[in-house]
Structure 1
Amino acid sequence: MVRPSSLFLVFFLHVVLVSSCTTSTEVRSEHSRNHVAFFIFGDSFFDAGNNNYINTTTLDQANFWPYGETYFKFPTGRFADGRLISDFIAEYAKLPLIPPFLQPGNNQYYYGVNFASVGAGALVETFQGAVRAFHITEKLRTMLYMLSLSIAFANYDDDLHHILV
């Protein structure tokens, strides 16, 4: 059984590390512009398909039926029949579905990226040997790089104090 402290840690990391970068700066085209980028961390509750691209067992993947059959009409890699919590948050923020980081050909990070992976944990020891999930240190390093790309794509000033993380 999952300890409440583990669930709290996953939820806390998701809330704190989901980086909704928003700012309202003057752009060169005479109008203000808001930009939101959604960076998602977590485990199977938030995995949008990263584990489909990790060399692991089928128990740790959701790229087959019945996953996705009701809402998407095909398996998406989400461990749900429909959308995930992060999909609803993206919809509320008027963003498209946020793609998995490991999805081949995914090089559009303007709206963010999903780093969640089944079996992921805050500690490297989490599910050690059971799942090849990329761990929080890897995710944070990559997320900082993606955040810098998102800032660059949004034509932000170099003033990072405008960014809410």
Structure 2
Amino acid sequence: MTVVVQLLLCLWCVVVVAVAAESSSPVAGERQRQQQLWVFGDSYADTGNLGNLGRELTHAWYDPYGRTFPRHPTGRFSDGRVLTDFVECPYTPLAN
């Protein structure tokens, strides 16, 4: 497939998922509490799941990682909050 066809196919899939999500949403004016935020780690979402393999396999559990937020190593290679942390903030009022 050419690049253009691949991009159009990807765009079509995004539109289908968006329409399906909108059609399954609750009645207008009714809010539903979100139970989960699924994030698949990439350069914008450092989920810190590498630590599940064992702390000895990664340096992310030791200083200097996580020194600025939340002031101790978190298993993430980022030093602080990432994009997905800001996305989930409005949905977790106790963490704010």
TM-score (norm: length of structure 1): 0.35
Aligned residue pair count = 72
- What's the CA shift for 1:76? 0.8
Runs (5+) with no aligned partner, structure 2: 1-9, 15-20
Describe the superposition over 1:56-98 as per-residue Cα deviations: whole angstroms up to 9, x where unpaired: 732xx5111111111201111121110111101112xx123xx
The letter of the residue matching 2:37 is: F
The letter of the residue matching 1:42 is: G
* Structure with greater proportional strand content: 1
Percentage of matched positions with identical amino acids: 35
Q: Select the structure of larger CA radius of gyration.
A: 2
Q: Indicate the residue corresponding to 1:51 in structure 2.
A: 50
Runs (5+) with no aligned partner, structure 1: 1-11, 97-165
Structure 2 CA distance for aligned equivalents of residues 77 and 25 of structure 1? 40
Describe the superposition over 1:120-151 as per-residue Cα deviations: whole angstroms up to 9, x where unpaired: xxxxxxxxxxxxxxxxxxxxxxxxxxxxxxxx
Matched, 1:95 2:91: yes
Structure 1 CA distance for aligned equivalents of residues 44 and 77 of structure 2? 7
TM-score (norm: length of structure 2): 0.55
- What's the CA shift for 1:40? 0.3
Instruction: Give the aligned CA root-mean-square deviation in angstroms.
Output: 3.4
Structure 1 CA distance for aligned equivalents of residues 27 and 62 of structure 2? 44
Structure 2 CA distance for aligned equivalents of residues 84 and 48 of structure 1? 9
Name which structure has the greater RCO, CA cutoff 8 Å, separation 6+.
1
Structure 2 CA distance for aligned equivalents of residues 62 and 23 of structure 1? 39
1:24 alignment partner, one of 12, 18, 26: 26
